[in-house]
Structures are given as structure tokens and as C-alpha cells.
Chain A
Amino acid sequence: MQLTVWTYEGPPHIGAMRVATAMRGLHYVLHAPQGDTYADLLFTMIERRDARPPVTYTTFQARDLGSDTAEIFKNAVAAAYERFRPEAMIVGASCTAELIQDDPGGLAKALALPIPVIPLDLPAYQKKENWGASETFYRLVRTLCGPRAEAVGKAGRRPSCNILGPTALGFRHRDDLVEIRKLLDALGIDVNLVAPLGASPADLGRLGEADFNVVLYPEIARATGQHLQKTFGQPMVETVPIGVAATIRFVEEVAAIAGVDPAPVLSGAPSRLPWYSRSVDSTYLTGKRVFIFGDATHALAAARVAATELGFKVVGLGSYAREFAREIRAEAALHGIEATITDDYLDVEAAIQASAAELVLGTQMERHIAKRLGLPCAVISAPIHVQDFPARHSPQMGFEGANVLFDTWVHPLMMGLEEHLLGMFREDSEFHADASPSHLGPGHHPVPPPSAGEGGPRVSEGRERGAPGPERSPPHPPAPQAPSPAEGGGSSGAANSTWAPDAEKELKKIPFFVRGKARANTERFARERALPLITVETLYDAKAHFGR
């Protein structure tokens, strides 16, 4: 059993729902207990879809367990076919139905419906949402894609590709798709098919007609892309075009495969990010300490953009996608850090605290953590809430996506002049050292100092909790009253050094967003030298030692 406060991914059948809901003409019959229809509102509320997901649930109850739940399932499949007349159907079980072992695939097959019925085997106690989406998409394509069309008449037509990966409930999938279509069109490449989003089962039969595949979201479409590569020999572009450099690389790769000239697309200044980032107003962004967490695709992309396009320092990188752990670890190594590969929210919390980051780029869950620690935060990856399905065009991919990234990531930071003034003057009643950035509303205050009240024990919880595990490496020994790294006050969390009152006071003169780092460095400095008392001198000795 695993203690779970928040979960980064839903169960695998949610992934299957994301594929079914993305498509047209496909229906999903899910053997599930009453109550599992909550999943509908992910689509109707968070993504604000205007139709019910194409999912029929058996919604069995306890009284049904005594009788024939298999019969209930068969009736549901038959009724769903009659009512919705889909082109194809997927059938499967949720976690509870998996326990009662009714064999949805076999039962549905026995009905001999005149359409393809694809059984899904999604082990709910081992796998999660993205795996479920990937597996579902792969099964659908395996079953439904027709033979490879001969590349006849290729000379007379534009090259074409499939775009694989966008689903329902995907982070900015809608707008990423617009950007990628724009790029491909400008390169003179046709889009044969986008799938799963907007495709019908019949459409999947035409996948073989394209010259190559673009895999936008490897979590969802890598398996399918590899299958198509193996079966049809279709090359696959898997460079995720998030950020300016990645987009340029993507364009070059696609152009090379398609045999077209990338120069017209890359000429000029296709994105504003490079100039914005070079303009002197951005100088203060240099070396900002950033912690990055999310799915693998977005976390990897964010790390590269943060380091090489915005000039941040990546002090933490991690993902809940264990399937991509190797890539994440390799990227983390480039930044000289160790990757945080975990789906345990509490481990992420501990890692963020330990990193003394000034900015967190993460998921909805990291917003919780950042809020508690009083850190600026921007969302770069699912899981996400309703505000990250915006009405406006907000891609992450392509050149326009890079513009969006610049605005979104810089916005939560204190603006340059304010940051300077805070470093010089501290006693202002309005712009005092612990005040939130004045361009953000009063709702953006960092959490109050965890002096005695609720904040204190809570903040230390993650650390205490994080201590025992072998994979976790808390930099501070556990301390019951350890203050948040984002904040000065309170007693010291160091094991064997205490802060002299005047040193503590001096520490408070450091702007709050770097104070955590200063505190950690000073305590480390004192620990390494076995200094029992941290004085003002120690603080400045440590500053000189570590630089910034």
C-alpha cells in the first residue's frame, strides 16, 4: 500500500477514456462500479466538453455482485451498440471490475457485433493513466490500421505525415496541434491524419498512407509510432518541439525526412523569445534557481528551455513518468543534479524544499507545494486544473509556444526593479522584504512564516516523511520546527549549529526569494566546519565561499 495525498496520474482506464473521447465514432464500454462516472466530469468540466464522453459504464452495485455481473456487462455492450452505433468499440474493466474477473473481451466477443470490438487489458494496480492511453491507442492502431499504401505517384504530390499523440484532457494539445499544423503547412507537408484527437476508427485505417509520423507526446504515442515504424517502415520524428531550439531541430528533422527545404520556415525571427530573453530587462533572470517537475515530455523540454533559452539555473528536475526515467536522469546529469523520479507527492515536496528553488515549474500539484512554501510557480504539465484549459490560444509547442512559455514563466517572478529596490531598502510598509510581487494581486502572498501555527509542523512534515526512504536525500536533517526555506524567521533547522540573534536578523535582510538558499548554504558551511554558532561573520564567510 502506498500513502497518497495527491496522485499525479489517474488509473489506466482514464487514459483509455482520453483516447476514446478524443476520437469520433468509437465507443467505450467500461465495466465499473457505481460512482466511477466521476470521470465524465474531467471532460465535461475541466476540459469543458459539450458532450458526454462516449463511455457506457455498467455501474454495478453490491446487490449485483450476488447475481451475474457478466450478464450486466453483456447487456451494456449490446445496449450501447444499439444506441450509439459506433464504428468500433473498446471494452475493458476498471480497478474493481478487474477484481471480479468477468473477462470483458470474451463476453463482448460472444455478442458477435458487426463492428471491431477491441478488448483492453489495463492492469489497474500496476499501471497508470498515460500507460493506459498509450496502450489503448496502440491496440486500436494495431487492430484497425490497414495495409501500407504503395508510395505511388509520390513525385506528383506533397509529402505527408501523421501527427500522433494529441488526446482529450491533454495539456494544451488543442493549441499545440494548431502550431504544428502551421509549421508543417509552411514546410509544404500535408497532414494525412491526426490521431487520436479527431480521428475515427476508419481514419486509423489510413495511417499507412503517410510518408512518416510525428510523435508529439511520446507518453501517449511512442509505442504506436514504433509499431508503425516496424510495420510500415514509416520514419518517426520524436523531437518534441517545445522551446525555440527544439522547434528548430524539429523543423530540420521533419524537413530532412520529407526532403523539403527548412530555410523559409526558420528564416527571420519566428519566435520573440530569443529577443525578449536577450533584452536587458531579462538580465536579472540569469541564474534564477528553478525546480522542474512534470511528465517526461514537458519536464525535459522545460529543463532545456530554462537553462539555455532563459538563462535560469536548473536546481531540480524530475518526473512521475517512470517509463522515461533514463532520459530524465541523463538530462539532470547535464545540469549537475540528481533527478527526482517519483510519483509520490511528498517526495517532490521534500525535493523542492531541499533545492531552495526561486521558481517552480510543475504540475497542479507543485502549485500546492509552491503555495505552501511561498514560491512563484508556473504550470508546465498535466495534471492540471480548469484554468489550464484556457479559452485563448496558448500552445506550448512551436515558435508561438515559446512566446507563451516566456510570458508564463517570467510572470510569477518579482519584476527586476522591484527586486533591486527590495535588496536596498527593507522597511517600506508596502514593499517590505516579505511582500509578494506588487504586479500580482494580494492573493499571491507567500505563506506566512511557519512560526507557531499550522504552517510550522506542516512544512516540516514532508521533510520528516522524506527522511527514512533510501532514495531520498534530504539535505537537512529532520527538524520538527524547521522553517520553510523561503522564509527567514524561527529557529534554525540545522542539526548542530544555532543562529546567533544578530545573524538571524542579518539573514532577514536578504530578499526572501534567495534567503532560503542563503540559509541552507550558511548552515552547510557551518556544519562542514563544525561551527556551533552561526554569527554574522559566518553568514558572510559562507556567502564569499559559495558565491552566488
Chain B
Amino acid sequence: MNAHAPLTAFENERGLEIRQERGQRAVFCGLTGIVWLHRKIQDAFFLVVGSRTCAHLIQSAAGVMIFAEPRFATAIMDERDLAGLADMNDELDAVVGRLVARRPEIKLLFLVGSCPSEVIKLDLSRAAQRLSRSLAPDVRVLSYSGSGIETTFTQGEDACLASLVPEMPAEAEQAEPALLVVGALADVVEDQFARIFSEMGIGPVRFLPARRAGAMPPVGPNTRYLLAQPFLTDTARVLDERGATRLAAPFPLGAEGTTGWLKAAADAFGVEAGRFAAATAPGLRRADQALAPYRAMLTQRRIFFFPDSQLEIPLARFLSREMGAELVEVGTPYLHRGHLDREMALLPRGTRIVEGQSLDAQMDRCRQARPDLTVCGLGLANPLEAEGLATKWSIELLFTPIQGYDQAGDLAELFARPLVRRTRLEV
């Protein structure tokens, strides 16, 4: 309810209707990124500095995997901290001290800022520097903000990776051109891409984040990077500042997106057309085969995206071009026009993109359109199902391997499954 009316609506040069909306937003904050990042970087620990709400959010969002010993926790600020009775920096040092004693295997500790810590302007970057000095050489301490006031859902990963970039070693002088793939990917997807790049003769190929804190890749003017995720605005900016060059590409979702993404690297590394075709042909063939059964289920289905992760535009592109779906509305929490340029070029003319959200207004539009499938968060999914609308809960798209040729079928299946389920249930 920040403001009532949509702010602007215009048609861009691609013939897309881009609308901005402000109001009540039903989205996660950036703290949620911890839920997958703590599994990706295996010796990192995420300490949220925040309130009981923050702790409650993470344990609610962590859902099914909460039976594993998690590599995250919350330093809950209390009244004494806020009233200035306790020096917050001393308190934080004490909490970190206990934590490190409890978990001696931690090599990298992220202090994660939250709304409360940002509002009271607790300087976590200085705290991180101080703690890094006192815990060196065993533990490196970094900080970033995952607060709701600054970040939406996947932007937490962006903030985390951006905090890692200054830590990356400088590439050797006269280093060969190297490829850097940026964005947390499932290990299996990472390995697949590494194999394809190797077949094309591209190398060295590195990934950010690395699976271990001590193994972050080098970066420098000879680094060419591919964004594997669309939500990495700040990470890209700081990589640029270190001299790296972004390769413009669509995102590796679906066969077409994957080919476009790989092609951007192939072009930058001078891979011959024949070699590129040879390296991608098996993947393309398998993706085509895997997608075929779902095409019939998704073709001409009308799909509505609520904003969630910034994956919405690439997903909409995949569903419309490869699966024949129709796009009713594509909501996104934030639209980076530069990074999504290649994606938007592939969207059908007239597609309505809505950046931001005014929840009640958007729900009204959704109810009125009665789409065949609504992609939305878990707060909306069951209520919309109860209203008779089929939904696909969007968070799963972050927790499931969906990138690359060999996951294209799985990606389509995620959207087809709720529709199939509806045809099966007879009660």
C-alpha cells in the first residue's frame, strides 16, 4: 500500500507492455537466500543479525530440511542492545566467539544484515573487518544485507556473492582468458556445464560461488563472465569493477536459453561453429526428447506470474517459445533491463510485464483473467487453489536443478505437474 496506483505503463521498443506498480508486496526478503547458499558453500556459516522475526522466517522457510544441522543462525537483538545498555559490537563479538567455538569447521562467516540492524544502522561491515582480524587465519568474516527493506528474495544471493567478489584473488598477469559462471547452481548442473565447455575447448572455466570458501576463483581483466541467474545486478557491477567482462546472453533455462547462453561463451572464446554444434547436439537432442511430452500439456495454457525471484521473465520466455504457453502477465520484483535484454527480445509482442507489486490489485487481475496456471508464492498458492485456480509455487524453482539441457524436461514438468494432478484427482 505504499502507493495506490500503478506508477507508469509504457510499451518498450520490443513491443512489450512494461508496467510499474507499488503497494503491498507478498515476497520474501533476501535472508531467504541463506536457505540454499549455506548448502552451496560447504564451509560457510550465515549469522543473521536481526530480530526474532528474522530467526522465525529462516526456520519457516527452511521447511523440510530443518532436520539437518543447519549452517545458519540468528543473533537476536534484544532490548538491552537497543537501549544502548550493551555495546552491540561487544555483544556481537561474544556471539561470534561462541559460534566459532561451537562450529570449529567454519571457514567463512557471513554477518547478514536485516531490517532491524539496517534501520538502527549497525555497521556490520566494520564488525566483519574487526572479527576477520581477530579470527584470522582460521575464519574469514564478510557481511552483506539480506534485509527486506533492501532486498527481495534472490537479491540476497546477489548481495552475498557481491560481498565475495572483493575476496576473489586477482588473476595472474598475462592470464589466459578465463570463463567465470556466476550464480549458485545445483552441483549436477555445474558439472554438466563444465563438461560442455570442456568439449568446446573453453577453459579454464570457474564457478562463483565455489563449493569451498578457500577455493573462490580468481578474477581480472581477462575474465569473461556469464550470469547463470538473472538476479545478480550488484555482483555483475563489482565484477565489472575488477575488470571482468560480462557476456550478454539469455539465461540457461530450456533448450533455447541454454544454447543462447553457451553460444555467448563460444563466441567470446572463438569456438568454431562446427565444434559448438558438436558439443551441444547431444544436449539439444535430449532436451527436445524430454520436452516433447510436456508440450501437449502446456501449449496454449494461459500463465500468470506473480513477482518472486526475477526468474519470471526467462521462465515466461521458455514457456511461451518452447512450450507454446500464452502469457497473461509476467510479474517480477525487479527488472534489470540490461541483463534481461536478450530475454525480452524473445518474448512475444504485447506481453505484459509488471515490475513491483500491489498485491490486492494484482490478485484482482489474476482472478479476472482466470489463467490456467498461476505461478506464485506459498502465501497465495493455497488460497488461489481454493478459488479454483491451478498454481505452481514459485520457490521450488530455486530449490530444484532447472538450468541446462538435461534439466529442460524437469523444468517443463514442474509446470505440467499441477495441471496433470488436477486431471487425476477425482475427489
A residues contacting B by CB (< 8 A) are: 1-7, 9-11, 13-14, 33-42, 44-46, 48-52, 56-62, 64-65, 72, 75-76, 79-80, 83, 94-96, 99-100, 123-126, 128, 364, 367-368, 371-372, 385, 454, 457-458, 461, 464-465
Q: Are A44 and B31 in contact (CB under 8 A)?
A: no
CB-CB under 8 A from A76, the residues of chain B are 1, 24
Choose one: B29, B92, B105, B149; the contact of A65 (CB below 8 Å): B149
Contact B74 A4 (CB under 8 A): yes
Query: Whole-angstrom distance between the alpha carbons of A49 and B150 in the complex?
Result: 30
Binds A, one of B94-102, B400-408, B415-423: B94-102
Report yes or no: B25 in contact with A1, Cβ–Cβ below 8 A.
no
Cβ-defined contact, B2 with A3, below 8 A: no
Q: How many residues of B contact A (CB 8 A)?
A: 69
Closest 7 CB pairs of A and B: A35-B29, A35-B148, A40-B379, A50-B386, A76-B1, A95-B51, A96-B115
Among A37, A79, A126, A372, the most chain B Cβ lie within 10 Å of the Cβ of: A37
26 A-B contact pairs sorted by A residue (CB < 8 Å): A1-B77, A1-B88, A1-B94, A2-B76, A2-B78, A2-B95, A4-B73, A10-B56, A34-B149, A35-B57, A35-B147, A37-B24, A41-B377, A50-B385, A51-B386, A57-B24, A72-B1, A75-B1, A80-B1, A95-B115, A96-B119, A367-B67, A461-B102, A464-B102, A465-B101, A465-B102
Q: Which of A52, A100, A124 contacts B379 (CB under 8 A)?
A: A52
- Chain A residues near B94 (CB-CB < 8 A): 1
| B24 adjacent to A59 (CB under 8 Å) | yes
Q: Which residues of B contact A35 (CB under 8 A)?
A: 27-31, 57, 115, 147-148, 152
Contact across chains for B2 and A61 when beta carbons are under 8 A apart? yes
Kindly provide the distance from the CB of A367 to the nearest chain B CB, expressed in whole angstroms. Answer: 7
Chain B residues whose CB sits within 8 angstroms of the CB of A59 once the complex forms: 1-2, 24-26, 148
Nearest residue (CB) in A for B62 is A6
Q: Is B70 an interface residue (CB 8 A)?
A: yes
Interfacial chain A residues near B78, Cβ < 8 Å? 1-2, 125-126
- Asked if B148 and A83 sit within 8 Å, CB to CB, the answer is no
Q: Which residues of A contact B52 (CB under 8 A)?
A: 4, 7, 9-11, 95, 124, 128
B234 CB-CB contact with A under 8 Å: no
Given the known A-B contacts A37-B27, A95-B116, A96-B149, are A44 and B383 also in contact in the complex, defined by CB atoms under 8 Å? yes
12 A-B pairs besides A76-B24, A95-B116 with CB distance below 8 A are A1-B81, A3-B73, A7-B56, A33-B147, A34-B25, A34-B149, A35-B115, A56-B1, A58-B2, A75-B3, A126-B79, A371-B67
A471 to chain B: closest CB distance in Å? 16
Alpha-carbon distance A371/B69, docked complex (angstroms): 11
Q: How far is the CA of A59 from the CA of B22 in the complex (A)?
A: 10
Interface digits, B363-384 against A, CB 8 Å rule (1 contact, 0 not)? 0000000000000011111110
- Hey, which chain B residues are within 8 Å of A1, CB to CB? 49, 75-78, 81, 86, 88, 91-92, 94-95
- CB pair B53 A95 closer than 8 Å: yes
Q: Does B4 contact A (CB under 8 A)?
A: yes
**Residue interface mask B330-352, A partner, CB < 8 A = 1:** 00000000000000000000000
Q: A465 to chain B: which residues have CB within 8 Å?
A: 98, 101-102
Task: Please determine whether B104 and A33 come into contact, CB atoms closer than 8 angstroms.
Answer: no
User: Could you tell me the distance between the alpha carbons of A52 and B149 in the complex, rounded to whole angstroms?
Assistant: 23
The answer on a CB contact under 8 Å between B27 and A99 is no
B381 A44 Cβ-Cβ under 8 A: yes
Q: Would you call A124 and B53 a contact (CB within 8 A)?
A: yes
Which of these, B4, B24, B86, B95, contacts A3 with CB under 8 Å?
B95
Closest Cβ–Cβ distance, residue A105 to chain B (whole Å) = 18
Q: What's the least CB distance linking B131 to chain A, in Å?
A: 14
| Contact of B12 with A by CB under 8 A | no
Contact B53 A64 (CB under 8 A): no
Report which of A36, A123, A124, A461 forms a contact with B148, defined as CB distance below 8 A.
A36
Min Cβ gap A196→B in Å is 20
Tell me the bound Cα distance from A333 to B405 in angstroms.
64
Q: Does B175 contact A (CB under 8 A)?
A: no
A-facing mask of B48-73, CB < 8 A → 1, else 0? 01011101110111000011011001
Is B82 interfacial (CB 8 A cutoff)? yes
Residue pair B149, A61 in contact (C-beta under 8 Å): yes
Q: Any chain A CB within 8 A of the CB of B172?
A: no
Residues of A within 8 A of B424 (CB): none
Highest count of chain B CB atoms <10 Å: which of A45, A83, A364, A458: A45
Inter-chain contact B119/A125, CB cutoff 8 Å: no
Q: How far is the CB of B256 from chain A (nearest CB, A)?
A: 33
A124 to chain B, nearest CB (A): 6
Query: B26 — which chain A residues lie within 8 A by C-beta?
Result: 37, 40, 59
In the complex, the answer to whether A34 meets B27 with C-beta atoms within 8 Å is yes
Q: Which of B257-287 contact A (CB under 8 A)?
A: none
Chain A residues with CB below 8 A from B60, complex form: 38-39, 41-42, 46
User: How close is B233's CB to chain A, nearest CB, in angstroms?
Assistant: 15
Q: Pick from A58, A96, A368, A461 the residue with the most CB of B within 10 Å.
A: A96
Residues of B within 8 A of A9 (CB): 52
Q: Which of chain A's residues have a CB closer than 8 A to the CB of B148? A: 33-36, 59, 61, 96
B199 within 8 A of A: no
Contacts A10-B53, A76-B24, A125-B51: A38 and B61 contacting too (C-beta < 8 A)? yes
In the complex, B120 has a CB within 8 A of chain A? yes
Asked whether A44 lies within 8 Å of B382 as measured between CB atoms, the reply is: yes
Bound CA span A10–B51, Å: 10
A255 to B: closest C-beta gap in Å: 41
The minimal Cβ–Cβ distance linking B135 to chain A, given in whole angstroms, is 16
What chain A residues lie within 8 Å of B2 (beta carbons)?
58-61, 64, 72, 75
Please measure, in the bound complex, the distance between the C-alpha atom of A51 and the C-alpha atom of B386, giving whole angstroms.
7
Task: Name which of B53, B79, B99 has the most chain A CB atoms within 10 A of its CB.
Answer: B53
**Chain B residues near A372 (CB-CB < 8 A):** 69
Find chain A residues with CB under 8 A from B30 CB.
Answer: 35
A151 to B1, CA, bound (A): 47
> How far does the Cβ of B24 sit from chain A's closest Cβ, in whole Å?
5
CB contacts (< 8 Å) of A100 on chain B: these are 119
CB distance from A126 to the nearest CB of B (A): 5
Is the CB–CB distance between B25 and A37 below 8 Å? yes
Cβ–Cβ < 8 Å partners of A364 in chain B: 66
Partner of B99, one of A3, A64, A65: A3
Q: A123: which B residues are within 8 A, CB to CB?
A: 79
